Amino acid sequence: MRKLLLTLWAFWLSCSVHAQMFTPSASALPDGQLNQAYSGQVINFTVPQNATVSGSVVEQAIGVVFPQTQPVLGLLNIDNQNFDLLVDRTSLIVQGLPNGLSATCDATPCTYIVNASGYITIDGAPTETGQFSIDILTLTEGDVDISSITGGVLSSFGLPTSFALPTPVPSSLSEEGYTMTVTDPSGIRSINDVFSIDVFPNPTNGNFTLSVDAKKSGMALIELFSIAGKLILSTSTKVAVGQNRLPLSSDDLSKGIYFLKLTLGGNQTLVRIEKI
């Protein structure tokens, strides 16, 4: 029993290392403002000794390193399995940042050996608004444990219980799901569970832009009301998932306060616009 508990404890620790490679872990990063210097978010990390790789990656690697096995690889059915990887080194790639921001590692290139610590700095000045999903992806090198599949159809090939992957591969060390919101300080922002919008510039004396960041596509109804509640404009437009920029004009409007309402998928937002 004591040996079993120690084994489970060691397994738990290895899983915990995977989850805590990055600090902070995937979460909401500080908000940014359009064309203004970002705060310089720092994400720290330490490369763990163990990771996992998918069965599809392992199958391809076996075919490259042991080409004699290619005729039977399709019989393994390991696409949905994960395999333990003894990490040698890993490279980091940051994706999803808004234009104007960049991610810089404290080492060049952004590659770190096992047990090494480092950090990523996100800085710059964002040049677009909206909500952004940011991922830190990893390409990892190391030895993969295939002891669980060396029997069966592979038993006649005399394969080792582990081997070095021929190329860096995607691994479980990736940290996906950071978020960042960038707003225009001269605009008005509204948000709900389905979409968020920016209106800028605001106040306006001519053309302005309605930016819609949508989580689902559909036909959006745009309505403009006077401060007294009179409907002045009603139009529909197709909205795609992601960022949509819709140019609008206030040339025909008198100076004053107006309210723009956008409806999409049964959800609505109402924002205040001033014509000067």
> What is residue 153's predicted lDDT score, i.e. its pLDDT?
86
Q: Which residues of 54-67 are buried (b: 16+ CB within 10 A; e: fewer)?
A: bbebbbbbbeeebe
HSE-CB at 22 with a 13 A cutoff on CA atoms is 22
Q: How confident is the model at residue 13 (pLDDT cuts 50, 70, 90)?
A: very low
The partner residues of 262 in beta bridges, in order of sequence, read 222, 269
Stretch (H or E) spanning 179: strand 175-183
Higher per-residue confidence, 232 vs 92? 92
| pLDDT tens by residue, 49-96 | 999 999 999 999 999 999 999 999 889 899 889 999 999 999 999 999
Domain ranges in the chain?
20-182, 184-275
| pLDDT tens by residue, 148-173 | 999 888 999 999 999 999 999 998 99
Q: How confident is the model at residue 8 (pLDDT cuts 50, 70, 90)?
A: very low
> What is residue 95's predicted lDDT score, i.e. its pLDDT?
96
What percent of the chain has a predicted confidence (pLDDT) above 90?
Answer: 51
Question: Per mean pLDDT, which range of 4-13, 162-171, 172-181 is the poorest?
Answer: 4-13
Mean pLDDT, rounded, for 133-139: 95
> What is residue 167's predicted lDDT score, i.e. its pLDDT?
95
Q: Is the pLDDT of residue 3 over 50?
A: no
Q: Is the pLDDT of residue 16 over 70?
A: no
Q: pTM for the whole thing?
A: 0.64
DSSP state of 30: P
Distance of CA 89 to the CA centre of its chain: 22
Q: Is the pLDDT of residue 228 over 80?
A: no
Q: Is the pLDDT of residue 202 over 90?
A: no
Q: CA angle, 215 as apex, 102 and 177 as ends, to 5°?
A: 45
CATH number of 184-275, picked from 3.40.50.300, 3.30.230.30, 3.40.50.720, 2.60.40.10 = 2.60.40.10
Mean pLDDT, rounded, for 99-118: 96
- Cα separation, 112 vs 106, in Å, equals 10
